[in-house]
Amino acid sequence: MLVASRRWLRRLITIALIVGIFFRFFNLDRKVYWYDETMTSLRSSGYTQQEMFDRIYTGEVIAVKSLLDTYQYPNPTRNLQDTIAALAKHPEHSPLYYLLARFWVQFFGHSIATIRSLSACISLLAIPCMYWLCRELFPKPVILSQFGMAIVAISPFHVLYAQEASESSLWTVTILFSS
């Protein structure tokens, strides 16, 4: 009886892990790209908000494509030093995520799904980190560590932040790993 219940619980944990991974990548490009995510794109492109305002508020009509190509994706007019300089003006944000985002978009192309997929991939690292933390806290039985992984995998909070182009997933992984 105990073996059958453990087998059932392990299957349930496996299903939770699969569902959690699926939802991290599901419909990444269908949600509204909100203000914080545009600031992520702006900073990783090497601009500050003030620089953008100074350039676009001139009284002239600007095409949306021009705004996107200039301020939301890395382009030839701004290099890595510009990104670092933009991040230095906002020290409250972790520069590692924005630098990773810049390289990610340059390598995989620029789209909403691409920039959000970085956070989704980083959030996958939270699952084994949670397992490791639970193993440190509860050495026996192993099922508790697996249960902890499943909770992080299907937690609406973690899934939501895994689908945003922000450093929240990196912070989660860093906290779990350092714990």
- 165 three-state secondary structure: coil
pTM for the full model?
0.87
User: What residue spans of the chain are helical by DSSP H?
Assistant: 2-25, 35-44, 49-56, 64-67, 80-88, 95-108, 112-124, 126-137, 142-154, 156-162, 168-178
56-81 confidence digits (pLDDT tens): 887 788 888 877 777 777 777 888 88
In degrees and rounded to multiples of 5, residue 164 shows phi and psi of -105, 145
Q: What is the DSSP string of 73-100?
A: S--TTS-HHHHHHHHHT-TTS-HHHHHH
Q: Could you read off the pLDDT tens digit of each residue along the chain, which spans 179 residues?
A: 566 777 888 899 999 999 999 999 999 988 888 888 888 888 888 888 888 888 788 778 888 887 777 777 777 788 888 888 888 887 777 889 999 999 999 899 888 899 999 999 999 999 999 999 999 998 888 888 999 999 999 999 999 999 999 999 999 999 999 98
